[in-house]
Amino acid sequence: MSTPSSSPAATPAGGRWQRLRDSYLWYSFKRDRGAQLCLATLLALVGMALLAPWLAPTDPYDLAQIDILASELPPFWIDGSDPAYTLGTDAQGRDLWSIILYGTRVSLLIGFGAVLLQALLGVVFGLLAGYLGGRVDALLMRLADIQLSFSTLMVAIVVGAVVKATLGGGFYSDYAILMLILIIGLAEWPQYARTVRASVLAEKRKEYVDAAKVMGLKSRRIMFRHVLPNTLSPIFVISTVQIANAIISEAALSFLGLGMPETHPSLGSLIKAGFDYLQSGAWWITLIPGAFLVVLVLSINLLGDWLRDVMNPRLYKG
Amino acid sequence: MIAFLTKRLMHALLVMFIISVIAFAIQDNLGDPIQQMVGQSVPESEREALREQFGLNDPFHVQYLRFAGNALSGDFGTSYFYREPALEVIARHLPATLELVFGATLLIVLLSVPIGVYSAIKPRAWISRFFMGASIIGISIPVFLTAILLIQVFSIGITVSLFPESTAWGAWLNGLLSTDGGMPSFGRGQDLVPVIGHWETNLASLGGLTHLVLPSVALASIMLPLFIRLIRAEMMEVLQSEYVKFARAKGIGVRRIYFVHALKNTMLPVITVGGVQIGTMVAYTILTETVFQWPGMGLMFLDAINRADIPLIVAYLMIVGVIFVVTNTLVDLIYGLVNPTVKLTGKPA
């Protein structure tokens, strides 16, 4: 498949916008209602998360605004609701809509942060392994194999548990966002490394790399300036799936009590907090944040599926 | 073949070595065993003597070798909370987890093969499209949320009053969408049948089986979509191949082509991925067991973390490490045996 990013390395710097408008990617996006709907949903959720301080009627982090007497109020369509709280309140009396906005913000922040870290580690290691080959390749890929033979979730849970036990619960909660980004980032880099390595191996044999070598360019320059741009399209495709995975991993860690504290909740810790009240009939505290999480992850996954069909990179299989 | 076998076994040993070093490093850095044993009132000089006596002042590699030796003989120390050998505690919790994994695997195998094959043969049928759509939704719902939904619908029950109750069709639709609940969603229940040693089974009584249903469905829900999609993709690829076309040209019945010729070759990659996924299911058992308070290894591990029960954490890591390494090695070996095109020596292509 010829996509703009898989054309040979020397691309003109200008006119990127025009190239996007001319591309097959844009053409198929214009024709695909499903993809448009997913992107719109995703953008709406991201926008809501970014504008949370302005959209939210109350500030859930401000203890003075919380009314414990107004706890466990149902959402507006059920009898006994309070019009001040559209989606009801949680067990501490926090407005569910406000705290979901802030929670989505935390979930997205951790998801994007973790994927950025994964991509950084994976791209550097994948390039080194693929381009240099030999011992470096064997060592890095063996490491990736070992890590992948455990599930990434398992690695994240174990690392999270050990870090929490070492540093103590209080310290862990204070730096929870940073910790989760590090843990999920470190747990999932092998996916990127394998993908990048596979496409580097294919690119390495091409003539432009030989030409660059003959010209006497340094390996580092060839790797990052010439080979890397040609491996971008598979990176792009797996990034969508990885963001969805990172958000689910974060939610899982938070659900197990290894993630965001209840005072500064993500969608996962909201679900965990609400689960205790499920048996008493207050299903909305857990299921409404759950619905937001599912819609967020689903729209990213569907976009990823669409992107894979359109760009059709030779993803590393197995 | 011998070379391939040795290579895989060396790899497995290397992985176990790395896991044991990590587990030992955790044990070495977390908590002070002397503190756990003697409490506050013992003077520092006596503590130091105890440290010397237990070899806690020895260099890292000496202590590691002692740890590895003990671990090989099945001694992971004594759990702080249960006050009994860590391995014993794990042995008591293992059957619950294994039965949960067994239940989920059974569901996955029974459902994914027919659905995957059908949607590969008839990709345009509405039922295939429905399952493909459902599978992407399934992938997007985290396993603990599926579990919570199952509890809400089948254990607590839901009352729908969306349609007007006064009309006959409204009442009928409300009744159709509402559920009574009542399915057990907490623990393994009372009807456990002892089998041997620590193993009490849920599988031998009706009460035990009903307790197993919701947790198994929840655990299966995370893997089922992956398997349906995998089987469908592989089957579609196989149906494009020359030998299937040739079999068609020869006039062999479609049934025989699908289920004898094509399915055999579809299952090969499915077995490899499947073997590895059954290992990964261990991670998801932690989440499932937490929601259903299922007294297996996952719940035990989470409790051990919250209680900072280091020997139990270390023992769990080692046991889970063994489970992963053994399943992965077995899958590799089976694949090597079954698939003649795999290069048995040297680097895999």
Give the whole-angstrom CA distance, residue B334 versus residue A112: 39
pLDDT digits (tens, 9 = 90+) for B215-264: 999 999 988 998 998 899 888 888 888 888 888 888 888 888 888 788 88
Checking if the pLDDT of B73 tops 90, the result is no
* Domain range enclosing A276: 94-315
Residue numbers in B near A248 (CB within 8 A): 142
Checking if the pLDDT of B33 tops 90, the result is no
Q: What is the CATH number of the domain that holds A263?
A: 1.10.3720.10
Please, are residues A85 and A294 in contact by the beta-carbon 8 Å criterion? no
Checking if the pLDDT of A253 tops 80, the result is yes
- Beta bridge partners of residue A95, listed in sequence order: A89
CA nearest to A163 within chain B: B26
Cross-chain residue pair A157–B286, CB shorter than 8 Å: yes
Between B80 and A102, the higher pLDDT residue:
A102
Q: Which of B8, B17, B135, B145 to mutate to test the interface with A (most CBs of A within 10 A)?
A: B145
**Could you give the percent of chain A with pLDDT greater than 70?**
93
**Amino acid B191: pLDDT:** 74
Between A236 and B149, the higher pLDDT residue:
B149
Indicate the number of domains in chain A: 1
Mean of the per-residue pLDDT values of chain A: 82
Task: Provide mean pLDDT across the span A275-291.
Answer: 84
Task: Tell me if A47 is assigned to some domain.
Answer: no
Task: Provide mean pLDDT across the span A79-108.
Answer: 82
Residue numbers in B near A164 (CB within 8 A): 305
Checking if the pLDDT of A9 tops 50, the result is no
A8 confidence band (pLDDT: 50, 70, 90): very low
B175 confidence band (pLDDT: 50, 70, 90): confident
* Burial label, B81 (beta-carbon count in 10 A; 0-12, 13-18, 19+): middle
Mean of the per-residue pLDDT values of chain B: 82
Report the candidate in A244, A268, A263, A302 with the shortest Cα–Cα distance to residue A114.
A244
Give the whole-angstrom CA distance, residue B162 versus residue B165: 8
Please, are residues A300 and A42 in contact by the beta-carbon 8 Å criterion? yes
**Amino acid A243: pLDDT:** 92
Task: Provide mean pLDDT across the span B269-284.
Answer: 78
To the nearest whole Å, the CA of A17 is away from the closest chain B CA by 32
Give the whole-angstrom CA distance, residue A25 versus residue A311: 7
Instruction: Select the CATH number that applies to the domain covering B88-307 from these four: 1.10.3720.10, 3.40.630.30, 3.40.50.10470, 1.10.630.10.
Output: 1.10.3720.10
Task: Provide mean pLDDT across the span A143-160.
Answer: 82
Phi, psi of B57 (to 5 degrees): -95, 0
Question: Position of tokens 């919250």?
Answer: B306
- Beta bridge partners of residue B78, listed in sequence order: B85
A108 confidence band (pLDDT: 50, 70, 90): very high
Checking if the pLDDT of A111 tops 90, the result is yes
Cross-chain residue pair B305–A161, CB shorter than 8 Å: yes
Q: Please check whether residue B15 touches A, CB under 8 A.
A: yes
pTM exceeds cut of 0.90: no
CA nearest to A79 within chain B: B161
Residue numbers in B near A254 (CB within 8 A): none
CA nearest to A280 within chain B: B156
pLDDT digits (tens, 9 = 90+) for A112-133: 999 999 999 999 998 888 888 8
- Residues in A whose CB is inside 8 Å of some CB of B read 146, 149-151, 153-154, 157-158, 161-162, 164-166, 244, 248, 251-252, 255-258, 268, 271, 275, 278-279, 281, 283, 286-287, 290, 293-294, 297-298, 301-302, 305, 318
Domain positions in chain B:
88-307
Cross-chain residue pair B302–A256, CB shorter than 8 Å: yes
Please, are residues B166 and B174 in contact by the beta-carbon 8 Å criterion? no
**Amino acid A4: pLDDT:** 46
Cross-chain residue pair A287–B152, CB shorter than 8 Å: yes
Checking if the pLDDT of B154 tops 90, the result is no
Residue numbers in B near A276 (CB within 8 A): none
CA nearest to B276 within chain A: A149
CA nearest to A241 within chain B: B140
| Complex-level ipTM | 0.82
- Beta bridge partners of residue B194, listed in sequence order: B200
Task: Tell me if A15 is assigned to some domain.
Answer: no
Give the whole-angstrom CA distance, residue B86 versus residue B180: 42
Question: How many CB pairs below 8 A link A and B?
Answer: 99
Report the candidate in B267, B232, B223 with the shortest Cα–Cα distance to residue B124.
B232
**Could you give the percent of chain B with pLDDT greater than 70?**
92
Checking if the pLDDT of A317 tops 60, the result is no
Give the whole-angstrom CA distance, residue A110 versus residue A265: 12
**Amino acid B217: pLDDT:** 92
Residue numbers in A near B141 (CB within 8 A): 294, 297
Task: Tell me if A269 is assigned to some domain.
Answer: yes
pLDDT digits (tens, 9 = 90+) for A170-197: 788 888 888 899 999 988 888 888 888 8
Report the candidate in A270, A249, A276 with the shortest Cα–Cα distance to residue B143.
A249
